[in-house]
Amino acid sequence: MNIWVKHLLNFKFYPERLKAGNTSNAFKYLLSPTDQINVLSNTHRRLISKNVLQQRYSTATFTDAIIGYFKPFVSKVKDKRNITHLITRILYTYKSDWQLPERPTNSIEKDIADIVQGNLGSTEKETLILARIGQGKFRNDLINKWKGCTISGYPETSLLVASHIKPWSKCDHIEKLDPDNGLLLIPNYDKLFDRGLISFKENGSIIFSDLFSDSDFFDIDESITIDLNEGTRKYMEYHRKHVLKNS
């Protein structure tokens, strides 16, 4: 989960906390950046740039970058003044009531520790660590392959997540770095795919888990089809059999 989103969830969206904190200002800015141009301090903008966008703060690009990150949510908010509506959509995506098992919060740290303690050369270790956190060669290979979000085509790659199809914990070292084992996704699609609420057939058409009945809520077109090469089909078969949740 994104660090900044986790921070927002810690507020639990209690009205009294929203009224008192900068979190509310962040949403106001997101919904109406022109009208709310002065609502965020430079300190808060820098924190958002660092933790959400994972890039150096720039006054020239901040507004477009933050709106791009949350665009999947904002596009479904009918009343642009309705902060609560936006919060509800973000909360629903990142902390739902589906009662699916959560990935342990320390899983990435554990995987990295296992790499460091393993019998690999320093270069191999660095490559695997970068792949585990969605950076480095693995991410670059996915950008070159997909050019944008695999599902929606959204082109701003700095805001996309490098997502493994076959889970990292089930991969050997080759599979962990194989670009055929990856999708480039906007955060809400990444979360749905990672939790096994969506997958794809051999022909690339989207499949919904029996536990997921909110495709309309997420504005997911049921006719979506993605291009799968032979290598990616192999990994997607694993995802359908072992990750996709069915009742």
**Taking 80 as the threshold, does the pLDDT of residue 230 lie above it?**
yes
Three-state DSSP class for 24? helix
Rounded CA separation 160/141 (Å)? 13
Question: Pick from 183, 193, 194, 170: which is nearest to 227 by CA?
Answer: 183
Q: Across 5-14, 29-38, 233-242, which has the greatest mean pLDDT?
A: 233-242
Pairing status of strand 198-200 against strand 206-208: antiparallel
**Taking 50 as the threshold, does the pLDDT of residue 6 lie above it?**
no
Question: Pick from 238, 146, 139: which is nearest to 196 by CA?
Answer: 238
Rounded CA separation 135/163 (Å)? 10
pLDDT of residue 210: 86
pLDDT of residue 99: 31
pLDDT of residue 196: 92
**Helix/strand number for the chain, H first, E second:** 12, 4
Higher pLDDT, 75 or 161: 161
Rounded CA separation 101/160 (Å)? 24
Mean pLDDT of the chain: 73
pLDDT tens-digit map of 180-196: 999 999 888 888 999 99
pLDDT of residue 19: 40
pLDDT category at 16 given cuts 50, 70, 90 is very low
Higher pLDDT, 149 or 67: 149
Higher pLDDT, 198 or 67: 198
**Taking 60 as the threshold, does the pLDDT of residue 160 lie above it?**
yes
pLDDT of residue 4: 45
Name the amino acid, one letter, at 156.
E
pLDDT tens-digit map of 50-76: 766 777 888 888 777 777 776 666 665
**Taking 60 as the threshold, does the pLDDT of residue 32 lie above it?**
yes
Higher pLDDT, 197 or 132: 197
User: pTM surpassing 0.85?
Assistant: no
DSSP 234-247: HHHHHHHHHTS---
